[in-house]
Amino acid sequence: MFQSNYCISNNLFIIILFFHFYTSILIYFGTSLLLPSTSLKSYLQCPFRNKLLNHFHFKISDKTQITYGKVIHKALEVINKRIKATGEYLGDDEVKNIVENLFYTNPNIAYDRKQKLKTDKLDDIVDNVIHYYHTFGNKIKVIDSEVQFNVKNKDYGITGAIDLIYETDNGKIGLLDYKYTSSEAKYMKWHKKQLYVYVGVLKLLEEWKDREISELKVYAIKSKKLVDVPVDHDKIKEIMDEMDIVAKNINENNYPRQKDKHCNKCAFKRICG
């Protein structure tokens, strides 16, 4: 019985893998290449994993920490859009209500079958969001929040969303990226590159190409720390050139396996072999 079930599971996996491959081929050749703005990090970390996620559209179940990050991101988006509409901070009580509503309605973390409601984590999330607005978020003008983009760059497209575009009291325009992480340098390296991609993307948009981006910031949520990123136009060009190389490799179906110390934690380690 065990062997029979194993064979069925194995065959089912092969069928699912083939289906993903077949439909992805149709999508891939039916349209021009469209890269998520996070593709640079994803491809450089492991091209083969990037292929499984972005080409074959494999899914990874959300880990609890990722889900907490999504709740905070959504809360910040909702609050920022309200601030943009009203021109003022909503107040701590309303911010708390928004976060609690998003927390309780999220099916991944609201209840745990083996544990009681995780109110300790909810309190931590509320505290993080309110701390951000007390220290920075209520001192800027929100130009736009969760800014979706889909732009053509040479022979491929880039798609994604910018967490926040803001204006300071002295009229400077800035971009801010929220990250559910700490402010350690090993994380900031990739966050900096993502912000540089955003600047490069804005320069491809008619309404933004002549506007100067003077500030770049990452809000490291776990550290409750706002990290400044220098606006380095040489580095921005370098990053956009890297995007060109990634697009070229993907177009040429070049997805080598990146063997390193992180492989044992990868969700696809059994596929990779």
Cα distance between residue 165 and residue 208, in whole Å: 11
Task: Give pLDDT, residue 237.
Answer: 96
Find the length of the chain.
273
Task: Give pLDDT, residue 154.
Answer: 87
Cα distance between residue 69 and residue 62, in whole Å: 10
Q: How far are the Cα atoms of 147, 183, 244, 250 from residue 39, in angstroms, in the given order?
A: 18, 22, 11, 10
- Residues in contact with 169: Cβ distance below 8 Å, sequence separation at least 6, in sequence order: 139, 140
Q: What is the pTM of this model?
A: 0.80
Task: Give pLDDT, residue 29.
Answer: 36
DSSP 174: E
Amino acid type, 98: I
Output the CA angle 264-179-114, nearest 5 degrees: 60
pLDDT < 50 stretches in the chain? 1-31, 113-114, 117
Residue listed under structure tokens 């109110």: 119
Task: Give pLDDT, residue 182.
Answer: 79
